[in-house]
Amino acid sequence: MKVFYFYILMLWTQISFAQKTFIFPKIKVQGTSVEQLTPANWKVIDQVNGDLNNDGSADLAVVFEYDKTIDEARVYGDNSSAIIKETQKPRILAIFFRDKSTGIFSLSTQNNDFILRSEEGGKLGDPLQQIAIKDQQLYLRFQGGSEWRWELGYTFKFENKDWFLTSAINLYYNQNNGDMTERIYDFKTRELFTTVGNLHRRDIANKKTSEVLYFSQLRTFKTFKKPWAWEILPDVYL
């Protein structure tokens, strides 16, 4: 009987360990440099400075990456049921506003999900292509695939004390023959512009259409989990 109880205890310990959820660190609320704001055991893999809240000061957006690989449950498809376990290094997006008089960076938002990981780009490798600031907006760009490739771009703007998705682009194309579908989303005007045709013969072979986008409210970092997780149209994921 003692052997039986010992076996049950060991099994419960193994299950508990296997199901242990990775805990993301809380980014420091304030600091004067990127080094001060970087959590222990994490490193900066990309950063950009620029005015994000129209106060004339150079704010800061940073992508941190953990120094070890872990098993992560990542959502795809409909943001809830299509969950895939990935073994990779977690990433964090942190955005800071800089006080013009003191030079102190204050945390505006921390997002642990939106930045694609290094293993999520397929044969093309790390999908994170660009993080940029222009016209008080934050631009995030990703790409991946193999023969069939995809490019994703998202633009967020800080308004009414939150980060709203204002526009996006999704390009899906065949590297060999150039067949493509490109969708450009303008969430401010609620318009979708679609181009279907050939990447190499845009002027003569492509069909362009536009339509109204229907959604209840603008998405934010809190309500838009990550790329590929918003079924914005039937069988169309952004």
Read off the pLDDT of residues 77-88 as tens digits, 9 standing for 90 and up.
Answer: 765 556 788 899
pLDDT tens for each residue of 181-222 = 999 999 999 999 999 999 887 667 789 999 999 988 899 999
Q: Strand locations in 35-187, DSSP E?
A: 42-50, 59-66, 70-76, 82-88, 91-98, 105-111, 128-134, 137-145, 148-159, 162-174, 179-186
- Sequence letter at residue 210: S
Stronger pLDDT, 9 or 158, i.e. the higher one? 158
Least confident of 9-13, 102-106, 120-124, 183-187: 9-13
Q: Edge-to-edge strand order for the sheet containing 91-98? A: 30-31, 105-111, 91-98, 59-66, 42-50
Alpha helix positions (H), the chain: 2-18, 34-37, 202-205
> DSSP code of 122?
G
Residue 36's SS3 state is helix
The Cα–Cα gap between 150 and 84 comes to: 19
Exposed/middle/buried for residue 141 (C-beta within 10 Å: 0-12, 13-18, 19+): middle
The Cα–Cα gap between 77 and 238 comes to: 9
Task: Please choose, from the candidates 216, 215, 218, 220, the residue with its C-alpha nearest in 3D space to the C-alpha of residue 232.
Answer: 215
- Span 59-64, average pLDDT: 98
Quick check: 104 and 114 in contact, CB under 8 A?
A: no
Give the pLDDT of residue 170. Answer: 96
> DSSP code of 202?
H
